[in-house]
Amino acid sequence: MTPTAPADAPENPSASLASSIGHIAATLTAEHFPTGDHAALRRQSPGTPPGLAFYRFAFKHLPPNWEAQRDAWMTLVSGIALMCPKPHRPDRAVGLALAEVGYSEKRLERLLASEGETLHTLLLRAVRFLAAKNASCNWVQFARLLLSTDEEKREAARLTIARFYYRNQDN
């Protein structure tokens, strides 16, 4: 049975984003998901045009307004695909996961200070680091960092990641 795309945005945008991320992760980890498409989604890189695998995935599984932030959604889908088979863990903060796998403070600083294409590139590097350590995290936090157009919300996303990183860095 093919998973259905998330319903149109409910009143709570945070719940809608969590639902979308959960749906994306479930779809990419599903046994029936085509391996060729999965590989193509993993190979996407910021600053390059999307391939047909992304468009095929996007029109079936992303929220209706995804086109307004195509590059951010490409990074999200690519990152989740990179971390398969267990990419999304809602109970595991991004900062906690990064601290536990020994992600350096300098790299975190560059990631959280970056914008635009640089943010997308550095986020995918952090994802590759997590994937190499078989770690998973709450992708909603990465999504907020990439998708927030409001500076206060983007800063709140940075603060959340940093908070969990520093609270768990020495553990």
* Domain assignment present for 8: no
Q: How far apart are CA 159 and CA 168, in angstroms?
A: 14
What are the tens digits of pLDDT across the range 114-129? 999 999 999 999 999 9
Specify the number of domains making up the chain: 1
What are the tens digits of pLDDT across the range 56-77? 999 999 999 999 999 999 999 9
Question: 166 near 103, Cβ under 8 Å?
Answer: no
CATH code for the domain in which residue 154 is found: 1.10.520.40
Residues in contact with 64: Cβ distance below 8 Å, sequence separation at least 6, in sequence order: 8, 9
The answer to whether the pTM exceeds 0.85 is yes
Query: Which residue range(s) make up the domain with 139?
Result: 13-168
